[in-house]
Structure formats: C-alpha cells, structure tokens
Structure 1
Amino acid sequence: MHFSTNIKLLRKRRNRTQDEVANYLGMKRSTLSGYENNVAQPGVDVLMTFSEYFQISIDTLVKTNLSALSESQLSELERGFDVYITGSKLRVLTSTVNSDNEENIELVSEKAKAGYKSGYADPEYISVLPVFQLPFLSKDRKYRSFQINGDSMVPIPDKSFITGEFIQNWSYLKKGDACVILTKEDGVVFKVLGNPIKAGKPVTLFSLNPLYQPFDVQVSEIKEIWKFVNYISSEIPEAMSPEMELHKTVANLKNEVENIKRRLVD
C-alpha cells in the first residue's frame, strides 16, 4: 500500500506543512504524521477525506506509487486525470530529466526508431537518446521528438523531426489530430487520426499525402501516442502541385464516403 508515501508527496507538492493540512482536515498534526510515516493505518472515512482533499481517487492513493510517475504524469493527475476515475489504463512513461530536474525532450532519430519499438519502456535505452530543450513549451507536459522519413506526410519534409506531447488519456484525442503513434506491428508512424479512439474499435490513420491509402489499427496494438506540437526541418516545405491538389480532393471525397458508410454500419 502506497498511501503513506503518496499523501506525503502530494502535500509537499502543494507546499503545505503538516500543520496546515492537519488543520484543514480537522485532525491533529501527530495523527497526520502517523499516516505519513505508516505508523497509523487509515480507515475508510480517513481515506475518503484525503481523496476529497487531493481530488484523487482512493484507489490511486492506495494502489499507485506516485513517486514512480514522471513529472508530466503527476501534473496530469493533479489537473484531474485519474485512471481510476476515468476508467483508462495507466501508461507509465520512461523519461529523463536535466540537472535542474526538468524533463528533457528525447530525440529519436531515424536509426534509433528501430530500437524504439522494443526499447520505448527500457530506461537504459531511453537514457542514451540525445536530448534537448525547447523553452517555449510547457514545463508540466512531456515531449519527445521523432525523425520521419518519406513523403507520406508532405508538405512536412522528409527527415523532419516531429515533436509530440505524450498523451496519457487517449479519449482526449479527436478526429484530425496529427500524432506520432507507436504500434506493435509498424513501430513508429506519424499519421492523422480519422476517428476518435474508442476501446474495441479500430483507429483509421491517414497520411497528408493523398497518394497514400488510409489504414486501420486496433487500439490494442497501440503502445504510445504523442500529439503533434511542431516540427524541425532544414528544408522549406514545397507547394502542393495542381496534380497533388486533385489527388487530395479525390481522396477526401473517398474518405467522406467511407465515413458515411461506417456511420451507417454503426
């Protein structure tokens, strides 16, 4: 049970003293100290009190080791995303930090992508990736950058580095979101979501280049999702040719027809 260490961690993250929290909860400081040091065991009423105070479910307070989560995951939890409340699956992310304890942006190059498929959850693999910082990005979110290859996502140039925000709760994503997705079968892909992600239903992934056909991926095959934030490239994107524009128009019409068919079936 992680209750004692969790309430101590959460209290300190709020910059509250034991006296302040104890007074707010209507208990003695020594009682709170006993809970934090695992000397006293809380009853159901006490668990409910702490759950309401921190706005975190009892299951999370008791079952999840919050100290093992990354800063971005803790921040997301404190903003109201709790896996036991939303019914989602907790996705523990392997991450690195700099000397100031700020999360790095790890860079997954084209060569490193092959290893990322199996090493994405391996601390040793993640620890040797090159890292950098983008000062204009939020410090309480987690980002990672992936190099893409090919022309399936033009006008984004080949060999660009796509920076994405780690998404814990996939239900936040919507149709049209561009994402870097790690799948069991295809590894790292950069595509556009054709529909919201729902358990038991496939996700249709589209390319920006209409010459590439969309394809479906089962949710159970997806390991990670990073929502597009920006990209870095040494090339200037090329304008789309009239022929490409025509292909895009035709592809969009086909997609709309498929969406209508899918809605009729559902």
Structure 2
Amino acid sequence: MSFSENLRLMRKERNISQEELAEIMGVSRQAVSKWEQGTGYPEMEKLLILSKELNVSLDYLMLGEAKHTEKDIPSSNNIIVPTGKITIKSYDGKIIVNCYKVLASSVMYKPQDDEPKYWLIGVNSGAFWGEKSIVLGWYADEEDIKREMDEIAKAISNGAPAYELKYAVRVKNKMLRVKINEE
C-alpha cells in the first residue's frame, strides 16, 4: 500500500479526524487531506512525528509492512522474535495484544535524559488490511529491553499463552513527548 492509504487507514483506526491530526502536526487540515490523497507529502520531521503519534515505524507508515534488511537483523537495536504467538498487555494496561511478532528498537527520535530510549512493539494480524502494530512498552536502557526480549522468547519457546512485561518503565505523555514517570 502507499503512504497515503496507510496514513488514512491508521488515522481512522485510531479514531483521529483530519482536523485533530492537523492540529497535532501543526499543519492545516488541507495538508493532511493532500497527504491522504497522495497529492502531497509531509517533510521528514513531520513523518517522524506522524510515526510516533500513530505508534508505527516509518517502514510501516511508508510501505505498510515492517521491512528489514539482513544487516538490520543482527543489530542490537533491532531484535525480532518471529515465531509463535503470545498475548501481551501493553505498558499502560489498556490494550492486550495477541502478538505473532515482537520488535525491540531504539526510539526514532533523539531522547532526552528523562525519556525512554527504547520501545517494544507487538505486531498482530488482526487488522482488516494486514498487520497492526502497537507499542507494548517503553525502556530506559538497552539492557532492560534485551532482558524483556529474552524473557518473551523463553515464554514463547515454553508455549506460554501470555506474558506480562517486567522491565518496562512507567511513562506519561507530555507535549507529544513520552517522559519517564518517576512517581
């Protein structure tokens, strides 16, 4: 699918109007409409904000799927557990996702000291148009997310039907940024 189709579908899945998205992005509703019609494209910084706001990777936003090259797979910033299915509750406890793939990656922006540096993304195939991804948890450092991935991989290989996140940090949203909640 094209960027315009992906944007329109993801915006609608999240029940965000064109006006609301335009306000979040700091653009006009007409700009969002042009993006969704394929007659215009956002600047790179706007793409990054879209990706973060819609909780999807740039690959997914632009191509409709998570694409990885062979050189990406061994990287410590991009670990994939591609086999089995497991149910995981999101970091905020508001969403339970039946995942067939779990991705661990560094965030797509330069984090400040009080922001998480990594996120865990669950992917399922429950959406009408294919894969749907959701942020499962936020992590302060690489060691915590690696431990989480090891535990999830172990749970999948042991045939566990569900897994509860153990190493994710509590976060709060503040002005389109995710901050670590120390409370």
TM-score by length of 1: 0.30
**Higher relative CO (CA 8 A, sep ≥ 6), structure 1 or 2?**
2
Higher Cα radius of gyration: 1
More strand as a share of residues: 2
More helix as a share of residues: 1
